[in-house]
Chains A and B, each alone.
Chain A
Amino acid sequence: MKQFKRLTTPYMLWAAAMIVVPLIMIVLYTFTEEGNSVLTFSFTLDNFTRFAEGTYVNVILKSFRLGLLTTGLCLLLGYPMAFFISRFSEKTQALLILLVTIPEWINMLLRTYAWMNLLSDNGIINQLLGLLGIDPVTMMYTDFSVVVGLVCNFMPFMIIPIHTSLSKMDKSLIEAAYDLGANKIQTFRKVIWKLSIPGVLNGIMMVFLLSVSTFVIPKLLGGGQYMLIGNLIETQFISVGDWNFGSAISMILAVIILVFMRLMKKMDPQED
């Protein structure tokens, strides 16, 4: 099947021009900024020691905690959803998947504003609680509000790949498992779950990557004190204008994520 190998050529050229070159340019800029002579290697030392300081480590830890929490919740809630959807007729499945995707076409900022509206101290939820005679609950600017916003926003990215895996599954395998005497739990664990792992990993990767570098939603729903790594990078690039440090941070982030993905790949049974 060697004929198909050439199919990668266009994308290789494209990726070189549109992904690799811009990255190299950023790195080059970091060496030449603010009147430094062209190759100042102080970049490596300075920015990394700066980063090692407690605050920035805290920021990155917080980002990862939040990323993991969001990914975990999305998996926990999204897997059943994908599973249930895959049990409907093919036509209904297509419709349901579309219904899951459509909210993402509405501007993210607007949806986040709507959440602020729902969760705020005088918000819709608290007004409803008031009607029931329950005291208002502070939900805005807490972990709760941030996680709700992130899960609502990113869960479709978990559901879709899992559903893709599940829908492709040969249904006779499940029947075979039952015929061979497996109960529901065994069938799920040994057959369905195993076969859906590529989709699960894909979903985890997508949600994790999106949530670990996000900053707009946490900033709006959690307030400015919700400092995350994406936020830090944005500040360095835009308001401080310190591209050196900005790209140093994003490189650290990229390395950590690459390591993380390596680990994920290890869990994929189909990878050789």
Chain B
Amino acid sequence: MKKKSFFTRFYVVICLAFFYLPILVTMIFSFNSSKSLTNFTGFSLRWYEELLNNVEVYKAVYVSLSIAILATVISTVLGTITAIGLSRSRKVVRELLLNVNNFPILNPEIVTAIGLMLLFSSIGMRKGYTTMLLAHIAFCTPYVITSVYPKVRSLDPNLANAAMDLGATPYQALTKVILPMIKEGVFAGALLAFTMSFDDFVISYFVSGNGVKNISIVVYNMTKRINPTINALSTIVIVVIILVLLAANIVPHLRKKSLNRNHRRNTVIAVVLVAALCTLMIRMGITANGKHVLKVYNAGEYMDLSLLEQFEEEYNCTVVYETFESNEMMYTKLAAGETYDVLIPSDYMIERLIKEDYLQYLDWDLIPNKKNLMEDVVNKRYDPGNRYSCPYFWGTVGILYDTTVVDPEDLDDGWELLRNPKYNGDLYMYDSERDSFMIALKALGYSMNTTDFDEIDAAYEWLIEQRDTMAPIYAGDDVIDNMISGNKALAVVYSGDASYIISENEDLDYLTPSQGTNVWYDAMVITRDCSETDLAHAFINFMISEESALSNTAEVGYTPTVSSAFEEMKESDYAGISSYVPQIENPKNEIFGYQEPKVKQRYAELWTKVKAQ
């Protein structure tokens, strides 16, 4: 072959640059001194330090890596022999199996995930490492088959016959003739399987449990406030890969001569090493130390994790801490039979859990720190008398606005500010069906818990009109970084997020609209199945102690339910930040209530229309 033209090299380099550009950015921001992923404020190794102390990340790396390796090996073997077998099968069998095989690839991941979750629950398998591994093999094998099968098909079918005519056994024909011919396909399949497994989130999330998490699960739960520790981790991963690649390219050169003779022995040694490593990893993953175990399920980035360590030490127990992205995700897992001891959901979800008999009464005698709670946060409509729940954080929903852009006079319009043509194209709505409808309903003077379809339709019209005149962006938690960077003038946010954003960007302020808003409470509850009720109560009591509440609010930025912590932060870290002090005097404020399925469906349908039409 001739020397490669300049264009060839240029194209390859440009393509690779395109792939590596985002990774380069990820690496750069792992050295950022602040939490922001958009503004580089200075060089620091802070995130690497945090990574060193983050046990959750270590465990996740081990889970991701060992699952990916095991799933790749098993699915490559399974997929390759299946592909070879398929090429010899009858057409009906082949078509059938290939079509079934396509299902995990063509079905949206969420369907596969829920299917597998139901399967494991129904046969009573304890969710954890094994279930995650089985699921990964299940969705990786189809990819191996799809990449190996075309290769097998393009082989001359007489090859194996010829080998056997010449005296080879079927096994020899397979390993000496067929495999070498299809090795590119097998290699490509294995690479794909590893890639798919290593980066999987949806399926892993639903089929795992009992504290087993991979890297993706950890990252997805950080989306609330993405944390550069993960960037640091990625940087290390990249550096390790580069080192391994270098080593793989240099070492063979150094020992070229001895390589051929020892080739077989080297392969055996490599296989044994990988196997030993895997067993070791699996052993490491099993934590059985005879201590009491408390399983806590909370929203992501919603707790100062050092508190968990303190609690473990104080009560000589192990806390298995898992996180969810939304209340609904938590409910889906709970409904599929996953068991937890303590949950920290929101008001309307607690109402639903009570209705559906998932919770047990709290024994307030075991929670002496009850005296620390503020008066404002107890005895609310979702759980009158707090028989089931102990408040954790609370706040409102409001409008975050740029004081340098928004005219103070316009603020009196409350929610209608979001339809003021002056700010056309300059706002983020929150991509949440209930909160968006809450805004429209409040702006129209209705209750945000209305079940009257006419009122709901009117709110729908309000939202459609807003969409058409204002061209809002329905953003998720990316709003946090966007507002810190000052990309737009207005945004709908939770008060707790607002406090954090304002503390990073002083031009912003928080408005609680006069038409009333959603006042929300997240609270700790104990499940009906809880087997460690004493420990669960101790945990709740611990979380509302004055010291815990203070370090929790300092870390998370949301408003605590403990008076002393609230008063102290109001004077120090969050002095002058209006969103830290929820404005709840307005009688038009409400708390979200449980929605009947029919009503819920109606809202969901209309919300889809608002966004998609």
A residues lining the B interface (CB < 8 Å): 1-12, 14-15, 17-23, 25-26, 29, 34, 50, 54-56, 58-59, 62, 77, 80-81, 84-85, 87-88, 95-118, 120-124, 141, 152, 155-157, 160-161, 163-165, 167-168, 171, 198-199, 202, 205-206, 209, 213, 219-220, 223-225, 227, 229-230, 232-243, 245-247, 250, 253-254, 257-258, 261, 270, 272
Extra contacts besides A84-B4, A164-B185, A225-B612 (13): CB < 8 Å: A26-B118, A97-B188, A108-B201, A116-B481, A123-B38, A168-B154, A209-B105, A223-B474, A224-B611, A230-B108, A240-B600, A254-B106, A258-B102
Contact of A111 among B1, B22, B192 (CB under 8 A): B22
B118 near A29 with CB under 8 A, answer yes
Which residues of B pack against A, CB within 8 Å? 1, 4, 8, 11-12, 15-16, 18-23, 25-26, 29, 37-38, 78-79, 81-82, 84-89, 91, 93, 97, 99-112, 114-116, 118-119, 122, 134-135, 137-138, 141, 143, 145-147, 150-151, 153-154, 157, 160-161, 170, 174, 184-185, 188, 191-192, 194-195, 198-199, 201, 215-216, 219-220, 223, 226, 230-231, 234, 237-238, 241, 245, 249, 326, 328-329, 331-332, 429, 431, 433, 467, 473-476, 478, 481-482, 485-487, 597, 600-601, 604-605, 608-609, 611-613
Q: A122-B485, A227-B611, A237-B114 are in contact. Are A107 and B216 (CB under 8 A)?
A: yes
Q: A111-B23, A168-B151, A225-B473 are in contact. Are A22 and B4 (CB under 8 A)?
A: no
Decide if B22 touches A114 in the complex (CB within 8 Å).
Answer: yes
Give the Cβ gap from A263 to chain B, nearest Cβ, in Å: 14
Docked-complex contact B82 and A55, CB < 8 angstroms: no
Q: Is there contact, CB below 8 Å, between A11 and B82?
A: yes
Residues of B within 8 A of A25 (CB): 115, 118-119, 122
CA distance A259 to B20 in the complex (A): 36
* Residues on the A chain within 8 Å of B85, using CB: 4-9, 11
Residues of chain A with a CB closer than 8 A to B231's CB: 110
Check B25 against A223 for contact (C-beta < 8 Å): no
A42 to B101, CA, bound (A): 30
Q: Which residues of B contact A205 (CB under 8 A)?
A: 146
Do B597 and A241 touch (CB < 8 A)?
yes
Identify 8 residue pairs between A and B in the complex whose beta-carbon atoms are under 8 Å apart, listed by A's number: A3-B170, A22-B116, A62-B612, A105-B241, A106-B26, A232-B608, A237-B114, A246-B111
Chain A: which residue is nearest B335 at the CB level?
A: A241
Residues in B with CB closer than 8 Å to A101 are 191, 195
Which of the residues A11, A103, A240 comes within 8 Å of B78, measured between beta carbons?
A11
A116 to B478, CA, bound (A): 9
Q: Are A107 and B199 in contact (CB under 8 A)?
A: yes
Known: A3-B170, A115-B22, A123-B38. A239 touches B328 (CB 8 A): yes
The answer to whether B12 and A240 have CB atoms under 8 Å apart is no
- A-B residue pair count with CB separations less than 8 angstroms: 328
- Which listed residue, B223, B328, B431, touches A224 by the CB 8 Å rule? B431
Q: Which residue of B lies closest to A148 (CB)?
A: B18
C-alpha spacing A152/B226, complex, angstroms: 21
Residues of the B chain whose Cβ atoms lie less than 8 Å from the Cβ of A9: 85
Given contacts A10-B78, A219-B476, contact A161 B23 (CB under 8 A): no
The complex places the Cα of A192 from the Cα of B493 at a distance, in Å, of 56
Note all chain A residues with C-beta closer than 8 A to B150. Answer: 161, 165, 198-199, 202
Question: Which of B93, B237, B487, B608 is most buried by chain A, counting CB atoms within 10 A of its CB?
Answer: B608
Interface centre among B100, B150, B601, B605 (most CB of A within 10 A): B150
What distance in Å separates the Cβ of B598 from its nearest Cβ neighbour in chain A?
10
Chain B residues within 8 Å of A239, by CB:
326, 328, 433, 604
Partner of A114 from B26, B110, B199 at Cβ < 8 Å = B26
Closest residue of B by beta carbon distance from A80: B11
Secondary structure class of chain B's binding surface, majority of residues: helix
Q: Is the interface of A mostly helix, strand, loop or mixed?
A: helix
Given A25-B122, A227-B611, A7:B1 Cβ within 8 A: no
- Are the CB atoms of A270 and B154 closer together than 8 Å? yes
Indicate if the CB atoms of A54 and B88 lie closer than 8 Å. Answer: no
In contact, B608 and A87 (Cβ under 8 angstroms): no
* Contact indicator A152/B26 (Cβ below 8 Å): no
CA distance A149 to B115 in the complex (A): 29
Q: How far is the CA of A202 from the CA of B102 in the complex (A)?
A: 12
Bound CA–CA A202/B16 (angstroms):
22
**Bound CA–CA A117/B597 (angstroms):** 39
Select one of B105, B141, B234 contacting A11, CB under 8 A.
B141
Q: Is B78 within 8 A of A81, CB to CB?
A: no
Cross-interface CB contact of B29 among A87, A102, A117, A223, cutoff 8 Å:
A117
Bound Cα distance A63, B198 (Å): 26
Closest CB in chain A relative to B324 CB, distance in Å: 10
* Set of chain A residues within 8 Å of B110, measured between Cβ atoms: 230, 233-234, 237-238
Contact of B604 among A26, A223, A240 (CB under 8 A): A240
Whether A22 pairs with B219 at a CB distance below 8 angstroms is no
Whether the pair B23, A7 counts as a contact (CB closer than 8 A) is no
Contact of A95 among B15, B249, B608, B611 (CB under 8 A): B249
Distance (whole angstroms) from the CB of A230 to the closest CB of chain B: 5
The answer to whether A8 and B195 touch (CB under 8 A), given A105-B237, A114-B23, A270-B153, is: no
In angstroms, Cα B108 to Cα A65, docked, is 17
Q: List B contacts of A171 (CB < 8 A).
A: 1
Task: Specify which chain B residues have a CB less than 8 angstroms from the CB of A59 in the assembled complex.
Answer: 608, 612
| A156 and B1 within 8 A (CB) | no
Known contacts A8-B97, A118-B21, A270-B154; is A106 also within 8 Å of B238 by CB? yes
Residues of B within 8 A of A100 (CB): 15-16, 19
The answer to whether B118 touches A164, judged by C-beta atoms less than 8 angstroms apart, is: no
Shortest distance between the CB of B429 and any CB in chain A (Å): 8
Shortest CB–CB separation between residue B34 and chain A, in angstroms? 14
What is the bound-complex CA distance between A25 and B431, given in angstroms? 31
Give the residue name and chain of the B residue nearest to A174 (CB): B1
A12 and B157 alpha carbons, distance in the complex (Å)? 23
State the CA gap A102–B239 with chains docked (Å).
11
